[in-house]
Chain A
Amino acid sequence: MTTSKREEMIFSIKNLKTHYPVLGGFFRKQIGTVKAVDDVTIDVRRGETLGIVGESGCGKSTLAKTMMLLEKPTEGKMLYDFNGEQKDVTKLNAGDVFDFRSRVQMVFQDPYSSLNPSKRIIESFDEPLRVHGYKNPAERKQRIIESLRMVNLSEDYLYRFPHEFSGGQRQRISIARALCINPELIICDEPVSALDVSIQAQVLNLMKEIQKELNLTYVFIAHDLSVVQYMSDRVVVMYLGKIVEISEASNLHVNPLHPYTEALLSAVPVPVVNEGKSKRIPLTGDVPSPINRPSGCPFSNRCPKRMDICTQVEPPLQSYGEEDHQVACHLYTKPI
């Protein structure tokens, strides 16, 4: 495993697996497993934006939730940097979990359901703050106003109900709420997928500004490759619960290695007339179900460059070319 020592690691995920049981049969026994996240190893570096991209159902949300300790991992380690001390967050005690939660926050995809419809905005903010040690009500209110300002919302909105806001405003409120307890790392699970393009642009710009301002680290998940590429420093491409490629964002569209990345790139429509059509790499078939994944490389059944070995041996994730460019594909397997 080669990672750059230059940058400081904030969250490092090692061989993480999150599996869901599939129940069925007479006695609702487990008859299978959804390997939603399977053997994922990523390092999140302080201050960067790590993009995660992949098609629906490939395990992006599960990965995010596992990192946020909302799902219990089946296996693996997640080392978080608590002021220089690396602790495995899967084994934390209750107090440390709390500490962890004040350092890591999450923004979810659906702006419409991420605010409690029966609570005023201030109430939605108040309890997290109180739980995280802001004992003084006035201080809390101040903090709320500050974080709303950060997302360009006025304090007039404090006493309104969520249904009085548009999708973009709600997503900004959600971001503000994640920010209000001063986290270091924000995991964003498709924060803009549900928004219109013009609103999406507002939110993306805002997120970038805030990151700069507060020196935040982002894990940014999306299924839209261009958005991820635009937002991220490095991009992780996932397929069926596995990482197939990790690349510098700026390098990804120039030099995609994995055939899946290539296909994904070619499928992204470009708003320029008469281009792109010819280049498209047609992918046949659908993403297989994560319950019965093809043997060997998970992409083997749809891969246009499939070789015999692909259906038998699972390719490991290895660096290829540059140090920060990793790929899991037999085309690039180095003889060991």
Chain B
Amino acid sequence: MRKLNSILKVENLTVSFSDGKESTKILKDVSFSVFSGKMLAIVGESGCGKSVTVHSIMQLLPKNGKIDSGKVLFNDGGNEVDLVSMKKYGKQMRAMRGQKIGMVFQDPMASLNPTHQVGKQVMENLMQHYKIPKKEARDKVIELFKLLGIPDPEQRIKDYPHQFSGGMRQRVMIAISMICNPNLLIADEPTTALDVTIQAQIMDLMKELQEKHDKSIILITHNMGLVAEVADFVAVMYMGRIVEYGTVRDILNNPSHPYTQSLLKSVPVMGLDKNQKLATIRGTTPNPKDYVKGCEFAGRCDFAMESCLTRDIPDINLTNSHQVRCLLVEESKEVIAK
């Protein structure tokens, strides 16, 4: 196994949203790395901060969102640059977006401009970053469309988004993010709006991009099955924190955070016996505003201890690739150590 180079390192990222006068911490101390040529999956329930994380990386947070602290170190061909230090819509940051980092959003219909031809929308990205003639750009787009399995690309680049099916639209989105050949691709729930058969097509395509073209990918999803199939690394988020991080094997075969465990067990799998009960998590996701101290999951955790709510929870390295943010693990580790 060759040495893994990280292409992106997120360090202690903290983001808050203001709502009038109040401000709520939505991301707390988020740190993770994305390795070259690997796919990192971020999983977690709705509202846990997955999208905010990637939007912070791209500096595309809405106006009321603010990065309070932390670094986003991007490896730009050997140069490590901190994206957070760049001006939001400045030249430097814009040079990153689209060219160095591509992004695919959840809803392919809403994410494409309905009044522009799809070809134009792809070309726009290319021509923003490379001074090349239109014709050449067009040829490149056609080429990419072919590669992404869009039939009849010469004709279809003139079409408008609404003339495409959901799956095809998502391919166009991927084309937009890929046209400048970025090394890092961020896909925020790219298949949630799609049917399973189409989801399978899109995921195969992304896997192929990653493997054949050596791209690094951040995939956001809440489908554990999908994670198992395509991801190399997994970060599990809960309430703005990464509670568990590791390789896909670490997480699926040895889930160590109670949250991860229940998440895995709460999904029915094919062939599950009808009479077997699904694992559930008590209660509902609390409001991030109400957070005071300790583990956010403590209130719903079956193994919660007193200390869970009173002290800061450290990240604990189980192996050098597997980290968990849970006191249970700390204790059992201590036990092992003893």
A and B touching (Cβ–Cβ under 8 A): yes
Contacts of A263 in B (CB 8 A): 197
Of A108-116, A122-130, A270-278, which stretch is located at the interface?
A270-278
Chain A, residue nearest B268 (CB): A230
What does the 1/0 interface line of B82-124 toward A look like (CB < 8 Å)? 0000000000000000000000000000000000000000000
Contacts of B165 in A (CB 8 A): 286
Q: What is the total number of residues of chain A having a CB less than 8 Å from a CB of chain B?
A: 50
- The reply to whether the CB of B167 lies closer than 8 angstroms to some CB of chain A is yes
Of A67-75, A195-203, A320-328, which stretch is located at the interface?
A195-203
What does the 1/0 interface line of A256-295 toward B look like (CB < 8 Å)? 0000000111111111111111001011101100000000
What does the 1/0 interface line of A226-266 toward B look like (CB < 8 Å)? 11011111000000000000000110011000000001111
- The reply to whether the CB of B178 lies closer than 8 angstroms to some CB of chain A is no
- A205-B277, A269-B226 are known contacts. Are A280 and B196 too (CB-CB below 8 A)? no
Chain A, residue nearest B270 (CB): A253
150-207 of chain B: CB within 8 A of chain A: 165-168, 195-201, 203-204
Query: Do A205 and B228 touch across chains, with their CB atoms under 8 A apart?
Result: no
Chain A, residue nearest B251 (CB): A273
Q: What is the total number of residues of chain B having a CB less than 8 Å from a CB of chain A?
A: 45
Residue of B197, B270, B274, B277 with most partner-chain A CB within 10 A: B197
Contacts of B81 in A (CB 8 A): none
Query: Do A271 and B269 touch across chains, with their CB atoms under 8 A apart?
Result: yes
Contacts of B168 in A (CB 8 A): 286
Contacts of A208 in B (CB 8 A): 277
Query: Do A201 and B267 touch across chains, with their CB atoms under 8 A apart?
Result: yes
What does the 1/0 interface line of B132-150 toward A look like (CB < 8 Å)? 0000000000000000000
Query: Do A166 and B225 touch across chains, with their CB atoms under 8 A apart?
Result: no
Contacts of A39 in B (CB 8 A): none
Contacts of B198 in A (CB 8 A): 286
Cβ contact of B270, chosen from A197, A198, A265, cutoff 8 A: A265
Of B68-76, B280-288, B306-314, B322-330, which stretch is located at the interface?
B280-288
Q: Count A/B pairs, Cβ under 8 Å.
A: 128
- A202-B280, A272-B228 are known contacts. Are A267 and B270 too (CB-CB below 8 A)? no
Query: Do B270 and A270 touch across chains, with their CB atoms under 8 A apart?
Result: yes
Query: Do A55 and B267 touch across chains, with their CB atoms under 8 A apart?
Result: no
- A197-B222, A198-B45, A276-B229 are known contacts. Are A169 and B284 too (CB-CB below 8 A)? yes
Chain A, residue nearest B224 (CB): A271
- The reply to whether the CB of A225 lies closer than 8 angstroms to some CB of chain B is yes
| Cα A34 to Cα B279 with chains together (Å) | 41
Query: Do A229 and B271 touch across chains, with their CB atoms under 8 A apart?
Result: yes
Chain A nearest CB, measured from B162 CB (Å): 13
Chain A, residue nearest B279 (CB): A201
- The reply to whether the CB of A204 lies closer than 8 angstroms to some CB of chain B is yes
| Cα A268 to Cα B191 with chains together (Å) | 13
Contacts of B249 in A (CB 8 A): 273
24 intermolecular pairs with C-beta atoms under 8 Å apart: A55-B195, A168-B284, A196-B46, A197-B224, A198-B281, A201-B266, A202-B281, A204-B268, A224-B196, A226-B270, A227-B268, A230-B274, A249-B274, A250-B274, A253-B271, A266-B200, A267-B200, A269-B200, A269-B226, A269-B228, A270-B225, A271-B225, A272-B228, A282-B200
* Partner-A contacts on B (CB < 8 A): 45-46, 165-168, 195-201, 203-204, 222-229, 248-249, 252-253, 262-264, 266-272, 274, 277-281, 284-285
